[in-house]
Amino acid sequence: MSEEKKTPQSTESTEPTVLKEEETHADEQRIDTTTDTAIEEAALEEKTPTSSSLAKEDAVSPKKRLGGVLASQKVRRRGISTVFTAIFLAVIILLNVIVSMLSTRYPSINLDLSAQKTNTLTEDAVKVIDSIKLPTTITILGPENDVRDNVMYSGYGFNYSQVAILSDKIKERNSNITVKYVDLDKNPTYASELQEANLSAGCVVVSTEKRHRVLQITDLFNTQTDYTTGQATSYSMVGTALASAISQVNSTKLPVIAFATGHEEIYDSSALQNVLKNANFETVSFNILTDAIPANAQMVMLASPATDYTPQELKKLDAFLENAKLTTDRSLLITFYPSQEALPNLSAFLKEWGIEVPRAVVVERDQTHIAQSNASFILTQTNVASTVTLNPQVSQYENVVMPESSPINLLFTSRDGVTTHSLATSYNTSYLVDSKSTEETVKNAKQQAYTTVALAQKNMSLDGTVYKQNVIVAGSSPMFAEGVINASAYGNGKYVADLIRYATGETDSNTGLLVTPVQTNQVDINLSQAASMIIGFGLFTVFIPLCVLAAGFVVFLKRRHL
């Protein structure tokens, strides 16, 4: 029973099991097929983007694109910035080259930043330069680079580059004028070729086919020292000196002024000679003891002789004044000094011309009529003779100073064809002091105007033409001295030049140019040495460079993060 019962149970259980196995196997086949299909679809999906993958890519791609765009923009900005910087630098360099070329070709476009405009030609200098017709050469003795770079005479405080700057401007204004440089070390024969013995580095030679003029360094620059304070003052005469030399070498005729020597002359006439050269006169020297008066001289000057003249020498002077072959006005100019020894022969000669010079000094009581706080440095009145006009364009010469002047007495107004005139006088607040004066006599001295420059004149007719014989006496030798006749503060230079033009018949000559010194080291603000150090070293040497460095560093950091 048990076996029969077991058998049918096992039979019944086997059938369903087989079915299950078959179903399982079919399911496995289906799963395998599904899996293969899924793998194939997945592979296909990897090859062909689906909408979901596209969506994912769309979700991620903008960020990647933004980073790429930003990176490309940064590179682009840097590239553009570099290009603009390069272009800017190229433009700056090009502008510098163009400006340098233009400034070389047209020097007048360069700004004159000097306080006293020493690198600018004056109006009078421009008129002279513009009138030049002859080929004229300005030769600067020195290496061009040393001249332009202020190497020459830098130890003296002279701004020698002014010579090159103003010569360039002169050349620019007139094509007839050329500028060249000669290095005497490389061309030692130049001085002998020019037949000039006193040529040295720094001299300037101005020449035409007619003549040449040498400007020494003292004709271009000057230094004066105040011995009470020890302060040195520098002056520049470059512009007017060059123009005056150009005018002189282009003049058709130069009146000759002869300076007599041989009597221990007290006065050094070199400053006066420079003024006359600048006024288009030629100066020569001769020994009146041994030499004849130069035949072409129109004026003879006796500069404060210390010893008396012989009768023979005075006859030379008479013969010169009466020379019938000299078809021009001719004159004799004599200067005096209060401490001169007695000169009886010369005094007798002057009395024949109606002039007497006492041994005394004119002193001024009014402080407004003196210079340099010195009562004997008197300011004078000019053009006081109504019948004599030195220059029709000048009614009064301002600030003509006559230091330590002797008074001049006019012995008559007219006699034997000779007329006398006062050309300059002191003010009526002046008085005389001599070796006999005491404190009491000075206190009670009579105040009046005294003649300080006198003229004795005589007419002479030659072939129907009237010429003048002039004897001019100046009571002050120092009025012609260095630092007075050429000082811009005084009118002595202009007055003396016009006086000698009148005396030689050259009144209408307007080509000469008065050389005017211009102070180059004027102090506008007084600073202590400590303050100067703070401003000079602290401000310009430390502070400003540090500011520029800091600004450059900030710009670097800003550009670095672009």
Model confidence pLDDT, tens digit, residues 67-81 = 565 556 666 666 777
Lowest mean pLDDT among 112-126, 250-264, 286-300, 445-459: 112-126
Q: What does the pLDDT look like over 305-361, one tens digit per residue?
A: 999 999 999 999 999 998 877 788 899 999 999 988 899 999 999 999 999 999 999
Tokens describing residue 190 = 């130049």
C-beta pairs of 106-111 under 8 Å, 24+ apart in sequence: 106/172, 107/165, 107/168, 107/169, 107/172, 108/169, 108/172, 108/173, 110/165
Q: Is residue 20's pLDDT more than 70?
A: no
> Whole-number mean pLDDT of the chain?
81
pLDDT band at 14 (very low <50, low <70, confident <90, very high): very low
Q: CA 502, 515, 524: angle at the middle one, nearest 5?
A: 135
What is the model's pLDDT at position 499?
Answer: 93
Longest dimension (CA), the chain: 205
What is the model's pLDDT at position 40?
Answer: 53
Evaluate the CA torsion angle 342, 343, 347, 348 in order and state its sign.
positive
What is the model's pLDDT at position 523?
Answer: 44
Query: Shortest CA distance to 395 belongs to which of 494, 281, 515?
Result: 494
Of residues 204 and 3, the one with the higher pLDDT is: 204
Of residues 171 and 100, the one with the higher pLDDT is: 171
Lowest mean pLDDT among 234-238, 431-435, 461-465, 537-541: 537-541
What is the model's pLDDT at position 66?
Answer: 53
Q: Residue range 53-62: average pLDDT?
A: 52
Element (H, E) at 466: strand 465-474
Q: CA 61, 64, 65: angle at the middle one, nearest 5?
A: 80
Tokens describing residue 503 = 């005396």
Q: Is residue 544's pLDDT more than 90?
A: no
Query: Shortest CA distance to 160 belongs to which of 175, 170, 150, 171?
Result: 150
What is the model's pLDDT at position 426?
Answer: 96
Evaluate the CA torsion angle 120, 124, 129, 131 in order and state its sign.
positive
pLDDT band at 428 (very low <50, low <70, confident <90, very high): very high
Instruction: Name the phi and psi angles at 399, rounded to 5.
Output: 55, 45
Percent of the chain predicted with pLDDT > 90: 43
What is the model's pLDDT at position 8?
Answer: 45
Residue in this structure with the two tokens 């003052």, named with its chain if needed: 233
Q: Is residue 551's pLDDT more than 90?
A: no
What is the model's pLDDT at position 482?
Answer: 86
Q: Is residue 440's pLDDT more than 60?
A: yes
Exposure string for 257-274, b = 16+ CB within 10 A, e = fewer: bbbbbebebbbebebbbb
Of residues 80 and 114, the one with the higher pLDDT is: 80
Euclidean distance between CA atoms 498 and 177, whole angstroms? 28
What is the model's pLDDT at position 358?
Answer: 94
What is the model's pLDDT at position 402?
Answer: 96
Q: CA 297, 299, 301: angle at the middle one, nearest 5?
A: 120
Most confident of 112-126, 316-330, 505-519: 316-330
Q: Residue range 143-158: average pLDDT?
A: 89
pLDDT band at 192 (very low <50, low <70, confident <90, very high): confident
Lowest mean pLDDT among 20-34, 230-244, 483-497: 20-34
- Report the phi/psi class of residue 93: left, alpha or beta, with left for phi > 0 and alpha for psi in -120 to 50: alpha
Contact predicate 118/159, CB 8 Å: yes
Strands of the 401-403 sheet, one edge to the other: 370-371, 374-379, 401-403
What is the model's pLDDT at position 57?
Answer: 52
Kindly give, in sequence order, each residue whose CB lies less than 8 Å from that of residue 456, ignoring residues fewer than 6 positions away: 353, 354, 355, 418, 419, 420, 421, 470, 471, 472, 473
Q: Is residue 58's pLDDT more than 60?
A: no
What is the model's pLDDT at position 280?
Answer: 84
- The three state secondary structure string of 518-554 is EECCCCCCCCCHHHHHHHHHHHHHHHHHHHHHHHHHH
Q: Residue range 60-72: average pLDDT?
A: 57
pLDDT band at 456 (very low <50, low <70, confident <90, very high): very high
Q: Residue range 281-296: average pLDDT?
A: 92
pLDDT band at 156 (very low <50, low <70, confident <90, very high): confident
0.75 exceeded by pTM: no
What is the model's pLDDT at position 219?
Answer: 87
pLDDT band at 251 (very low <50, low <70, confident <90, very high): confident
Of residues 232 and 302, the one with the higher pLDDT is: 302
Q: What does the pLDDT look like over 385-407, one tens digit per residue?
A: 878 888 888 888 999 999 999 99
Of residues 333 and 467, the one with the higher pLDDT is: 333
pLDDT band at 11 (very low <50, low <70, confident <90, very high): very low
Query: Shortest CA distance to 482 belongs to which of 512, 517, 452, 451?
Result: 517
What is the model's pLDDT at position 385?
Answer: 81
pLDDT band at 229 (very low <50, low <70, confident <90, very high): low
What is the model's pLDDT at position 349?
Answer: 97
From the number of C-beta atoms within 10 Å of its C-beta (0-12, 13-18, 19+), residue 243 rates as: buried
Q: Residue range 232-238: average pLDDT?
A: 83
Cα dist from 147 to 158, 183, 269, 521, whole Å: 11, 11, 31, 20
pLDDT band at 528 (very low <50, low <70, confident <90, very high): very low
What is the model's pLDDT at position 164?
Answer: 93
What is the model's pLDDT at position 243?
Answer: 92
What is the model's pLDDT at position 269?
Answer: 87
